[in-house]
């Protein structure tokens, strides 16, 4: 797929995501449309509820091949700044489907923060600790990203 076709797909994904009240995407580098930062709400009915989490998604190989993700601050579920392979996320059924939307990927990332089983992939904290999760939940709500400039204290209000 050429760059122009990819850009068209990503523009649609960005547009779709802008209607979602649980997540918001940013471009940390205006010269690179394939790297997005995304802020998303923590899963409901979990110690992550109320938290706002900030990740980087690398869409260089999207949509043909899996994306990589990394959380950009401590959160108690994923290691800070470690590359996560989306294929390992159980919501995806263990294999990559080229039609998977960026929204679905981010929703899965959120839901799986609170799934204790199968935490063996690179970048996962195997033994999660609820006190840590709750502490990071509070700090996530005022997180400011030094790269894209997002300020969580004014988000989703």
Contacting positions for Zn ion (CB under 5 A): 37, 145, 147-148
- Helix axes 102-111 and 3-17, enclosed angle (nearest 10): 50
Coil, helix or strand at residue 123: coil
Our CB check for Zn ion shows the closer of 92 and 148 to be: 148
Name the residue with the smallest CB distance to Zn ion. 145
User: Which residue in 28, 31, 100 sits closest to 57, CA to CA?
Assistant: 28
Q: How far is the CB of 146 from Zn ion (least distance, A)?
A: 8
Our CB check for Zn ion shows the closer of 22 and 91 to be: 22
Q: How far is the CB of 56 from Zn ion (least distance, A)?
A: 7
User: Which residue in 103, 121, 100, 43 sits closest to 75, CA to CA?
Assistant: 43
Our CB check for Zn ion shows the closer of 28 and 50 to be: 28
Q: How far is the CB of 43 from Zn ion (least distance, A)?
A: 21
- CA distances from residue 74 to 6, 17, 19, 80, 135 in whole angstroms, order as listed: 32, 24, 27, 5, 10
Our CB check for Zn ion shows the closer of 96 and 143 to be: 143
Coil, helix or strand at residue 135: helix
Q: How far is the CB of 55 from Zn ion (least distance, A)?
A: 9
Our CB check for Zn ion shows the closer of 16 and 151 to be: 151
Q: How far is the CB of 48 from Zn ion (least distance, A)?
A: 19
Please check whether residue 139 is in contact with residue 18, taking contact to mean a CB–CB distance below 8 angstroms: no
Give CA 42 to chain center in angstroms: 10
């Amino acid at each position: 797929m050429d760059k122009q076709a990819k850009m068209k797909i990503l523009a649609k994904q960005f547009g779709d995501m802008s209607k979602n009240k649980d997540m918001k995407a940013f471009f940390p580098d205006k010269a690179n449309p394939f790297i997005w930062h995304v802020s998303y709400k923590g899963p409901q009915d979990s110690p992550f509820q109320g938290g706002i989490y900030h990740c980087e998604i690398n869409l260089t190989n999207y949509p043909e091949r899996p994306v990589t993700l990394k959380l950009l601050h401590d959160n108690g579920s994923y290691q800070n700044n470690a590359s996560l392979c989306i294929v390992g996320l159980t919501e995806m059924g263990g294999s990559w489907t080229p039609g998977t939307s960026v929204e679905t990927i981010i929703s899965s990332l959120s839901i799986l923060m609170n799934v204790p089983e199968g935490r063996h992939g690179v970048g996962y904290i195997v033994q999660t600790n609820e006190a840590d999760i709750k502490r990071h939940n509070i700090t996530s709500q005022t997180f400011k990203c030094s790269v894209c400039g997002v300020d969580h204290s004014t988000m989703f209000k």
